[in-house]
Structure 1
């Protein structure tokens, strides 16, 4: 389990709210791609890399620039090629290798023939003008999902910690860029990439945080966005304070799949019924809160590890989680954890904070988070007191632009794909986005757990319907895909 691979975090400086949804990439000088050799860790078969110099603030198209790096997995069938497919893996995180990853996941050759698949490190991340918050290793270890708060005192303690992170971000060498590293501007960057590649329209495929990016892209650019597929969907407001709280609901939705599996595998001694397995969760969390395990891991890390393990379902994933629980239960060491290199984690977490905090205004009162934690500890007892706790965004200046929400205005070109049980982006959030788009959107709901449906969940019904839409452009109506076994 990689604690740093949770969902998102974010940043915002400057003052007053300025509405700028009508700002178009076309208002800026025509962008150009400078094709360059891919960085060593991105140099994968078939990938090309390029850089663009784009406006830091699209309201000032002739002003300061920011560098954005893209990748391209080009179609090798000119006679079948339809255009470009912009992609985003979520996070917010680096995306240069994502086209190659989609191919490795089994993206149909027909889709690879139809599109040049485009990856991008969003502004502030990876090789695109990376951000920093000068975080210590201890600060980075907490990732972008708050630790479980057992009481209000722990929320206040966490508030002191994240206030320091916010102050570091706003004093850092990249602080001048923070107000503009937002989802709205990343969407404008996507349209700039489209223009630079000489395409009249662009299709889009995004997962998790990328679902909100796709929503904003389709809202700001209804005339130049073609087929938009968004998977594992955040609610209509993206990763704002309420979107983050939904992870508590997501764990409650997804955990019964694991509980049923563990009850059917007595070799782990976690219980013989799903109810007993659930009781074991609370027993282990309480024991670890009082007395950390032999590795020094406590109840907070146990809860987070369970949350993160539920991202993937199936025998292999569940057996790993069950083995971890058994080690906790018997006082044995946990398997070694792998973490990305420190410099990349620094940029990843700082870049996430840029986006999260810059997209919307978060409550600034610590008492609000204390109250949210108390409510969600009861409402979603497994993980609610983590998901609802305080983030550095509470100590951010107001965003420079109003939050962009999905709009009903535009073509009927948005297709949501959503697992019924997802620990990070639960179904209720996807339903909120679906309603916000109105007739513009339809949703494929898949009877399976885990984070990620298209290509990731291996459900043939969902995979076929998304592929058919990307190829033929005929968006299906709302539909449910049944669970598949075997």
Structure 2
């Protein structure tokens, strides 16, 4: 998930010059700081944004103890007396920096009516980027590969991955920031959001979160329902959030999404894969098996082929890149150059991975038995043969050095009717089934708008006028659809 938003941010930068109740009460009683706005941190190049820093408790059970920094940004509404309030945003991940995200929304065409209605607020979540960062002291390939497991060809691969995962977890537990790791969680990030609300002097916040940000928004509006205004959850995780079920959802998501890529190839015979969608699906397994048996001289093997295919299914505009990779692999030509991975200057190279693992491992108590993951891999290989044996593989969370400090926040239907879930029908990362489960958990608190299109992220990114208009209307006026809406495939103007 992380690489997707990093690529989007890079595009924008080029284009632009205890129990949950007790902790929630503690957060609400604490005296907030006031944000002083100024220039954004060096190296971020964020025109039109103001930035500031807010101190928050590392441990909300000890609000007067050690504090950490949160880096916050603001894209101010042009007419303060006309604005509706503040719109907090989250760019997903977890582990994804968010200072730039207000500009991402502007770049992708968020309507002026939304910009007029809100000060759009971005922030690097706790442990991430220009907020006080965490590290696991990972180096080299581990800084890019610890977050999504590799495809397991059999039980031996799961056992091999377990050794690697245990080593990652041990490094996280012995790194310089290890004392922070246990406090990097979704619930604590939601409490940080409420500190941001208080520091900005706002009685309520509105919210737009994508991918993992849908779970963060769900947790916030569950912990602080009366401080929530309009909440938009785009490309939704299920109510269990970013735990084992979310990882296993990758297998389902690839099966849902792959036919769109197969149709793209069938409509572009210049790539050389023919016009039969079913034959193209068989070609996927043929190439993967060939690379499993004999990797390319550059080290590109079947596992990398499957993972790259998964990643490039995220956006329609990436399908030509994926087609070029397939053609290069199938014909033995050099691979197209990969975009560089970027980390904010002065931050640990492994910070996004370390922060992501901390959230994943602290939000849920993951299974610790290697045999359990081996069974899950075989089950998902059968159910979702394209990528299920990757999504079900073992994570460092199985060996995490600390246990979760509190139970997961249970998403329920208690609270105001102020949630809008927007979702593509064929999402490779957060499949439709999870969004439906979240919709059911919220009950009458939520409405859902679906669009007959594929890819990860719905609002603004794929120009579906039906979905975009419903979302914008909700943000600007607070008016939700009376019932769930199913939008046809209807791309808007370029």
CA distance in 1, matches of 2:51, 2:159: 45
What does residue 207 of structure 1 align with? 210
What does residue 480 of structure 1 align with? 486
CA distance in 2, matches of 1:246, 1:256: 17
What does residue 73 of structure 1 align with? 75
How far 1:259 sits from its partner (Å)?
0.8
How far 1:435 sits from its partner (Å)?
0.7
* Equivalent residue for 1:364, pick from 361, 365, 368: 368
Residue 4 to residue 413, structure 1, CA distance change in 2 (3 Å): closer
Alignment of 1:370-449 (within 5 A): 370-396=374-400, 397-449=402-454
Alignment of 1:57-136 (within 5 A): 57-92=59-94, 93-136=96-139
Residue 85 to residue 5, structure 1, CA distance change in 2 (3 Å): closer
CA distance in 2, matches of 1:95, 1:485: 27
**Larger relative contact order (C-alpha < 8 A, sep ≥ 6)?**
1
Q: Alignment partner of 2:77: what SS?
A: coil
What does residue 320 of structure 1 align with? 321
CA distance in 2, matches of 1:107, 1:408: 29
Q: Alignment partner of 2:43: what SS?
A: helix
How far 1:451 sits from its partner (Å)?
0.4
What does residue 467 of structure 2 align with? 462
Q: How many residues align?
A: 474
Q: Alignment partner of 1:71: what SS?
A: strand
Residue 22 to residue 419, structure 1, CA distance change in 2 (3 Å): farther
What does residue 11 of structure 1 align with? none
CA distance in 2, matches of 1:127, 1:349: 15
Q: Deviations over 1:422-461 (max 9, x none)?
A: 0000000101111111111110011100000001121011
CA distance in 1, matches of 2:315, 2:304: 18
Q: Which runs of 5+ in 1 are unaligned?
A: 8-17
Q: Is 1:353 the equivalent of 2:368? A: no
User: Which TM-score applies when normalising by structure 1?
Assistant: 0.95
Do the aligned residues in 2 keep the contact of 1:444 with 1:478 (CA within 8 Å)? yes
CA distance in 1, matches of 2:149, 2:329: 22
How far 1:419 sits from its partner (Å)?
0.3
CA distance in 1, matches of 2:2, 2:434: 24
Do the aligned residues in 2 keep the contact of 1:143 with 1:349 (CA within 8 Å)? yes
Q: Alignment partner of 2:457: what SS?
A: coil
Q: Which runs of 5+ in 2 are unaligned?
A: 8-17
Q: Deviations over 1:107-145 (max 9, x none)?
A: 101100110000000000001110000002132231411
CA distance in 1, matches of 2:140, 2:58: 29
CA distance in 2, matches of 1:291, 1:43: 44
Q: Alignment partner of 2:120: what SS?
A: strand
Q: Deviations over 1:15-73 (max 9, x none)?
A: xxx42344232222223224342113323221000101111111211111111110000
CA distance in 2, matches of 1:212, 1:88: 10
